[in-house]
Amino acid sequence: MTARARTALLVVDIQHDFLPGGALAVAGGDAILAPISRLVQPESFACVITTQDWHPQGHISFASSHPGRKPFETITLYGREQVLWPDHCVAGSAGAALHPSLPLDKVDAIIRKGTDPKVDSYSAFRNNWDQGANRPPTGLAGYLRERGITDVHICGLARDYCVLWSSEDATDAGFATTVLWDLTRPVDPSSDDAVRAALERRGIAVWESRFSLEDRG
């Protein structure tokens, strides 16, 4: 079996609300749209998965759900730090829609996350902590294992939150994990050194996308 036959591409949260003009815009997020679209090719990966933030109205991560609080403030939630966000990616809204540049006809599965009104969810693999200090799985790890996947390449938004958490959880789930660094963008650009160091400490490869296909053989 070739490396390509064991490798999945995970495209994280390419949604209108995370792109310039959106409710929680990531600077430069639009710059990764065209190269990701070119990368999404069935002949390059055994399967392609995309995630979609999909929050109910009044989600616990929204600053508007906490009177007197403002977006980007932090609170303690279930004993952990929680960033409060602007209302974003509300289920069924235009802002929650995947960007049309993403070729959905070549995507095998869409994982919707953040659907529990009381629990945030950055990772494609597991929710954030709930009231019982659990991190419930999304089912993605099992899906990939049943497809015979051993390696996961990750791109999308945002580098310092959903990409980082998804990468760490992919590694914890036993997948050889690679972040396509140039096909991600951060909420906070000053976090780049810390994010790269966190990935490397976990043994997660950090590649530039122009090398991703050649290096897998």
Phi, psi of 145 (to 5 degrees): -60, -40
DSSP-derived pairing of the beta strands 176-185 and 151-157: parallel
Within 10 A of 159 (CB to CB), how many other CB atoms are there? 27
Catalytic residue among 17, 47, 53, 113: 113
Residue entry with tokens 């996308």: 209
Catalytic residue among 47, 89, 155, 162: 162
89 is catalytic: no
- Can you read off the two tokens belonging to residue 104? 């959905």
162 is catalytic: yes
Closest CA to 141 of 118, 117, 172, 114: 172
13 is catalytic: yes
How far apart, in whole angstroms, are the C-alpha atoms of residue 210 and residue 32?
A: 13
CB-based contact 29:21 (threshold 8 Å): no
Catalytic residue among 13, 17, 120, 151: 13
**Which residues are designated catalytic?**
13, 113, 162
